[in-house]
A and B are shown apart, each in its own frame.
Chain A
């Protein structure tokens, strides 16, 4: 059985009177992908900063691979990789120079930067200055940089935000490959579809607290409602939406009425999304 890669115990942080993270506790197993979700200002970034040693918790404790993050920062940081949401590369340096610099800081020898760049789809552009890269290329380089030390724990903050579908898919594949390698991945994202697709478990954070923590499947089972979504034609030729909630005693009658009394144009079943679940738990959307 895999051990715990990340353990947060009563982790707390405040800025002045604002409690950003309020006594949160959770575990992430080795080799697991955790989707860490929540609206802006929920406390996600502060949590990540405490887990990566950038902020010292005001209360509580975080351990990474069994090491106390606050006490053994250097050892902890040697085992982790971080991909930030905002690009923060040395733009006047080439991609290969960026990777080699960080490999040297991690004391990784030998280091094959070309292989890593090929893996993220940047082969052939290794020696070009980063400032000439597109946003998608920079983001791929950011992901590559977080992997120079073959990190056992990867913190990825919105790794696909604002990217085209091809770049997003490439990065998602890399995340899954890293999980296959055995890395633990702490994925912070707004993208519910992405979280649903990639995460073994998801944590919803709101107002500094973790409001729910489970597998996407269990959450859908627990909070979601399956439904039939139909478009019907009215007498004037316009289309209107209809919804029939499944799994209730009234469902058979509702379906019968829909087909006998309306002119159904299209119909499909729909599962609850993580966003729906988040709204049902917190009463507000993720963008809020």
Chain B
């Protein structure tokens, strides 16, 4: 392979790609979908997380909370009022501060705090509120104190907000639309219009052409994937890990695109394969959308190993140890696909000639 020629071909596709319908389509469709979902479910212009407080004494915690700009605070007089507010979703979480709370934490005594959590609140809001309460208690005590927070979920516990359920679908669509369709359609076009034949009678090899197409898919897939997470404010606490996952997903998508491009003879066949084989790609996100389906079924689909770690990090506050096994499986799948791509290179040569 020749890096200079790969760069020339990649530059050609990036420069002239926007003249193509597919190029626009694979970028615009996931973004529009994401915007529509965000607008429908109201998270595009999301409000700050809302914290309800019922103070049974006269805790300084209330005043400290009210000073925060990242959280909206509402005070309630009784426990039953705060439970009602949480249950109806008026606040994302509510805490009940016992009468002797301040003196207990200042003396370093073990203290209990009851937190009511709305079952349909966004995972990121819960994370923000949890971290905020812990920080404020530490500030109040001036030291690390053993505060036990008893968390009680109110409302529909099993319900995952639809915005959260749809996020994996949108992310996977962003990654696979760009990563799969761009290399596939680009190679098929080069075969149909016989420009591939013109390229490979120059010193350019089929490997150079494939690498350029794969990189095209990878770059745009990663770009759109990151854009979607930004639009959905779903980067969580591990943005670099999420970018790594998107990159591994983009590799899988572009490899699949190269294989499709190598083996399929025209765009119509590509769409037919997309329609029938799409279930293999989107199986895990469909299962995730409907929690009543046994979630272990998702493990049979290759894209599960992209989506599960992304969900784990962006929605459940997971970190590397939680996703390591699945990431290694994903790397393994990418390597297997590389071998398949190498094998299919021969097929392309037959088509090209």
Residues of A bordering B, CB below 8 Å = 49, 52-55, 74-75, 77-78, 80, 82, 84, 86, 88-93, 97, 101-102, 104-107, 145, 149
Name B201-222 residues within 8 Å CB distance of A.
201-205
Name B133-175 residues within 8 Å CB distance of A.
none
Instruction: List B contacts of A75 (CB < 8 A).
Output: 203
Which of B12, B199, B205 contacts A74, CB < 8 Å? B205
Cβ contact within 8 Å between B194 and A88: yes
In the complex the two chains form, what is the Cα distance from A199 to B4 in whole Å?
Answer: 38
In the complex the two chains form, what is the Cα distance from A52 to B199 in whole Å?
Answer: 12
Which of A78, A97, A105 contacts B199, CB < 8 Å? A105
Given A88-B195, A90-B16, A92-B19; A105-B8 close (CB under 8 Å)? yes
Cβ contact within 8 Å between A78 and B8: no
- Chain B residue nearest to A129 in the complex (CB): B19
Could you list some 21 contacts between A and B, CB below 8 A? A49-B353, A52-B201, A53-B201, A54-B197, A54-B200, A54-B352, A74-B203, A77-B203, A80-B201, A82-B198, A84-B197, A84-B198, A88-B194, A89-B198, A90-B195, A92-B16, A101-B12, A105-B5, A105-B199, A105-B202, A106-B203
Cβ contact within 8 Å between A102 and B193: no
Which of A80, A88, A107 contacts B197, CB < 8 Å? A88
B interface residues, tally (CB under 8 Å): 22
Cβ of B20 within 8 Å of any chain A Cβ, yes or no, is yes
Name B297-332 residues within 8 Å CB distance of A.
none
Cβ contact within 8 Å between B195 and A77: no
- Chain B residue nearest to A92 in the complex (CB): B19
Cβ contact within 8 Å between A106 and B202: yes
- Chain B residue nearest to A97 in the complex (CB): B16
Cβ contact within 8 Å between B202 and A102: yes
In the complex the two chains form, what is the Cα distance from A80 to B197 in whole Å?
Answer: 14
Instruction: List A contacts of B352 (CB < 8 A).
Output: 54
Distance to closest chain A CB from B38 (angstroms)? 34
Q: B8-35: contact bitstring with A at CB < 8 Å (1 yes, 0 no)? A: 1100100010011000000000000000
Instruction: List A contacts of B16 (CB < 8 A).
Output: 90, 92-93, 97
